[in-house]
């Protein structure tokens, strides 16, 4: 698999020629019953910039992940994912990276210390998706070139593609640290999911039941730490693993 991290052009070519470009984060909602944050609720107004003809907002959610505000809005769109991705790629202030894989498109980027993520997936009616924003930086944006943290539950052949932490010098497990990471793993999604479940359970993590039946996705907790994983198939026998953690 040949993944490259590139900036998103103002217009993205449609179809498979768009290629695969490394996503700058993994972001999953870690549960649905968490406290609503007043500041997060007020900032929902920024989502209006992503309205488009044929797009319908279907749900909204605000929560705190160990004190870090997270806002999520789900939507449906009457068109193909690549068509909507072209519109969002024309917003470089929000999205600087794009990943095209498995028929879906994921755009991500940093703006004013917040990480924005748009997930677009094919659906019977066109496209289903989710737009998320989370504060990931205190002060200056983190340097994605810094070494990734070592997760002992990762397969030994996992190859890091991207790493982003709000406290780059904090080791894994440091209270209040949050990060997103992307890995390439020479395993199928099915084998990778089974491997991660075994290792995480043996390491004391408890799986959140809300995601237990969703293929390629899972959410975990251990004490005050939270972990979300998402796997996408790439070349035959390979997967991309997206990791989001709050310690």
CA distances from 156 to 22, 113, 184 (A): 21, 32, 11
Q: Report the side by side order of strands in the sheet with 55-65.
A: 55-65, 68-77, 126-135, 114-123, 104-111, 97-101
- Blockwise average pLDDT, block size 10, the chain, 247 residues: 33 32 32 37 68 90 64 90 92 80 74 80 90 61 47 91 59 57 87 94 88 72 83 79 77
Residue 171: predicted pLDDT: 53
55-62 long-range contacts (CB < 8 A, ≥24 apart) are 55/84, 61/29, 61/32, 62/36, 62/37
What domains, with CATH codes, occur in the chain? 18-135 (no CATH), 159-246 (3.30.310.80)
Give pLDDT, residue 46: 77
pTM value is 0.49
């Amino acid at each position: 698999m040949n993944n490259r991290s590139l900036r998103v052009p103002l217009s993205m070519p449609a179809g498979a020629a768009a290629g695969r470009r490394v996503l700058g984060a993994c972001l999953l909602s870690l549960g649905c019953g968490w406290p609503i944050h007043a500041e997060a609720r007020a900032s929902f107004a920024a989502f209006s910039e992503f309205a488009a003809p044929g797009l319908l907002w279907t749900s909204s959610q605000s929560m705190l992940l160990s004190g870090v505000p997270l806002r999520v809005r789900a939507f449906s769109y009457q068109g193909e994912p690549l068509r909507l991705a072209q519109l969002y790629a024309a917003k470089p202030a929000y999205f600087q990276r794009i990943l095209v894989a498995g028929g879906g498109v994921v755009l991500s980027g940093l703006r004013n210390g917040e990480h924005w993520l748009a997930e677009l997936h094919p659906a019977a009616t066109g496209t289903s998706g989710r737009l998320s924003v989370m504060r990931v930086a205190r002060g200056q944006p983190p340097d994605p070139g810094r070494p990734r943290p070592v997760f002992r539950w990762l397969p030994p052949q996992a190859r890091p593609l991207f790493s982003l932490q709000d406290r780059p010098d904090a080791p894994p497990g440091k209270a209040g640290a949050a990060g997103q990471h992307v890995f390439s793993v020479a395993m199928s999604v099915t084998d990778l999911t089974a491997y991660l479940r075994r290792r995480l359970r043996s390491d004391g993590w408890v799986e959140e039941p809300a995601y237990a039946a969703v293929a390629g996705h899972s959410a975990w907790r251990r004490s005050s730490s939270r972990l979300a994983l998402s796997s996408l198939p790439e070349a035959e026998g390979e997967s991309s693993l997206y990791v989001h953690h709050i310690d």
